[in-house]
Structure 1
Amino acid sequence: MWLVADPDTRIYLLGTMHALPRGTDWDGGKVAEAMRAADALVMELSPDELAAAGAVFGQLAPRSAPLAIDRRLSGEALGGYRRLEAKGGDFGGDRLDDWAVMVLMGQRTAALAKLSPDAGVEAGLTAAFRDADKPIGGLETAKAQLLLFETLPPEAQRTLLERAASRADSAPREVGALADAWSRGDVAALEAVINADVEAVPAARKAILTDRNRRWSAWVKRRMDRPGTLLVAVGAGHLIGPEGVPALLEADGLTVTRVQ
């Protein structure tokens, strides 16, 4: 977690895991202090937009014409897909776009790693701020977020799907290790994993990480003109590295301090 501050405004930037093992202790220490101090919470998606995400996914995910999975994947990638499929779950097969198949595979992988969205940071923050009767907002809409994937070039979508399928056997272990690194606050480990995931697909890195980080840092900079205390909670990958939101804000001359 980082703090962006000037004499009359404090904005805490909390890097989250959207799904975690049940019982993970993440809301103590400085995070608890930030939650108490904040006048409002802002997440990637507001609770209403998060609730709408499933329906939006259902609208955007179907292909215009079916394409069998064994015409998209071959070799180890197809094998990994089939082995993950055998562990339970319908990933859309021939009915869905490549990006949507990858998303459903990711959800199944998280479940196999015993990570639950109900135990994730966003779920806990939403409950806490609702109990405190504090407002909760969002930086994006569900449709805008999913369109980031839907509008990726077809070759980028296919590469993402192939990489996910090729690593399907090891993915639950890797996701579990990522959650452990996050729990330790190990930024270097997080950056190494996240960079490995997106460096091979520059179009995905630009759309999903870099461009959003720039939009969000610009939003934070504008919000600093209004007094008060705010907690902004976004995926941890958006807050690390030279293109993360804290680094971009520092480059714009704001005072940014890591506080936890």
Structure 2
Amino acid sequence: MRRFPKPLPSLISACAVFALLWQPLPAKAQIVPSLPAADTPPPPSRPALWKVSDADTTIWLFGTIHVLPKGGAPWLVGPVAQALQGSDTLVTEIAQADTQASAEHGASLSPGMLPAGQTLPALLGPERAGRLAATLTASGVPAAQFDAYKPWMAATALSLLPLIQRGYLTSQGVEATLENAHPQKQEALETVAFQLGLLDGLPQDAQIAWLDTVIAQYDTIGMQIAQMVNAWRAGDPDELGRLMTADMQDDPRLVETLLTRRNATWAKWIVQRLKTPGTVFVAVGAGHLAGKGSVQDDLAKDGIAVTRVQ
């Protein structure tokens, strides 16, 4: 039987647009429990930073985590802060303005909604629908909340609930912090509509199997994301790549759609951008800069040297 990717690694390594789904989730699910105070200060954060350059152009490559909890050692310090401050342009996966506009207009999530007259429980069948309803009810979410969602939308939204309940916030995410620190000039590699289209274009059997996996691993999602955040803070892209794509190799369609094809496109964008003088800070999901088939690997195929700075 084909296995499908772990819910959060595949998503966080793939698209920044999932932060939009924070908005439709019911208020009851957004209660954040109090967390015990740490006995020791957190270890320093030194997420990985790379540099691509020629005679008159410098492009920084920085991996992001789209949502983070409050607290933890500051990461926008040292070489990362210096690189951002010295850059003419900040480039992220999608633009902050695009994200905000889409969040304010719920119709932008229409690709994730089933056609009129269809429901997710009917599509899933009694057994699957029962498991989904039980998971939602245990999380304080009315089961009917997801009835109009396509399977990929349900899988995505369901995987966010444990993060919300543990205090993870898009406002604490890396992109939000970078955009607030560098408001002067920002660009984007993709659009909200494009990223939603990637998820919506997944075959239905892949979508349903993904939802099955989210339900089965629901109680471990918090641990998974904590491990990824720790690897990102430690500047360990190899471990981060392993965690984020642990099971993705079992379905080449997901690898090709969410990672491989986009990494190659971004590498070509970097090659072209090197022809324009200036300094650019490129920040994309950390999974795109980790493991085999990363953006760095594609740049190497084009003969472009990438230097690890931090």
- State if a TM-score over 0.5 links the two structures: yes
Within the alignment, does 1:10 sit opposite 2:63 as a pair? no
SS in 1 for 2:147: coil
Q: Which digits, 9 at most, give the CA deviation of each residue in 1:48-105, with x for residues without a partner?
A: 1111333355321111111317935847x96476235422346743211011011111
Return the offset for 1:23: 2.4
Q: Letter of the aligned partner of 1:18 in structure 2?
A: H
Task: Say if 1:213 and 1:243, in contact at 8 Å, map to a contact too.
Answer: yes
> Is 1:82 aligned to 2:134, yes or no?
yes
Shift in CA distance, 70/125, structure 1 to aligned 2, threshold 3 Å: same
* Structure 1 residue 109: Cα displacement: 2.4
Q: Which amino acid aligns with 1:86?
A: A
The Cα shift of 1:247 comes to 1.4
**2:109 is equivalent to residue 61 of structure 1:** no
Show the counterpart of 1:49.
98
Q: Name the aligned partner's letter for residue 99 of structure 1.
A: W
Query: Do 1:18 and 1:120's aligned partners in 2 also have CA atoms closer than 8 Å?
Result: yes
Q: Deviations over 1:152-205 (max 9, x none)?
A: 111111121111111001111111121111111121221111112422332122
Rounded to whole Å, the distance in 1 between the matches of 2:68 and 2:231 is 12
> Would you say how many aligned residue pairs link Structure 1 and Structure 2?
256
Q: Structure 2 vs 1, CA of residues 80 and 29 (structure 1 numbering), >3 Å: closer, same or farther?
A: farther
8 A Cα contact 1:113 1:175, kept in partner? no
Match of 1:162 in 2: 212
Aligned 8 A contact 1:14 1:236 in 2: yes
Residue 223 of structure 1 is matched in structure 2 by: 273
In the alignment, residue 38 of structure 1 is paired with which amino acid? S
CA RMSD in angstroms, aligned pairs only: 2.1
Residue matched to 1:93: 146
Matches within 5 A, 1:60-139: 60-64=111-115, 65-68=118-121, 71-72=124-125, 74=127, 79=131, 82-89=134-141, 92-130=145-183, 134-139=184-189
Question: Are the equivalent residues in 1 in contact too, given 2:95–2:188 (CA < 8 A)?
Answer: yes
TM-aligned CA distance change 1:180 to 1:126, over 3 Å: same
Question: What is the TM-score of this pair, normalised by structure 1?
Answer: 0.91
TM-score by length of 2: 0.77
Q: Which amino acid aligns with 2:240?
A: L
Provide the secondary structure at the position in 1 that maps to 2:245: helix
2:81 corresponds to 1:32: yes
Residues 56, 259 of structure 1: alpha-carbon distance in 2 compared, 3 angstrom cutoff: farther
| d(CA) in 2 for partners of 1:6, 1:16 | 24
Contact 1:80 1:168 in 2 (8 A): no
Check whether the contact 2:135–2:215 (CA below 8 A) recurs between aligned residues: no
* AA in 1 matched with 2:75: W
Q: Measure, in 1, the Cα distance between the counterparts of 2:309 and 2:126.
A: 44
Counterparts of 2:153 and 2:228, CA distance in 1:
22
For residues 108 and 166 of structure 2, the distance between their equivalents in structure 1, rounded to whole angstroms, comes to 23
Matched, 1:208 2:208: no
Aligned partners of 2:237 and 2:289 also within 8 Å: no
Taking the aligned partners of 2:126 and 2:215, their CA distance within structure 1 comes to: 8
Greater Cα offset, 63-72 or 46-55: 63-72
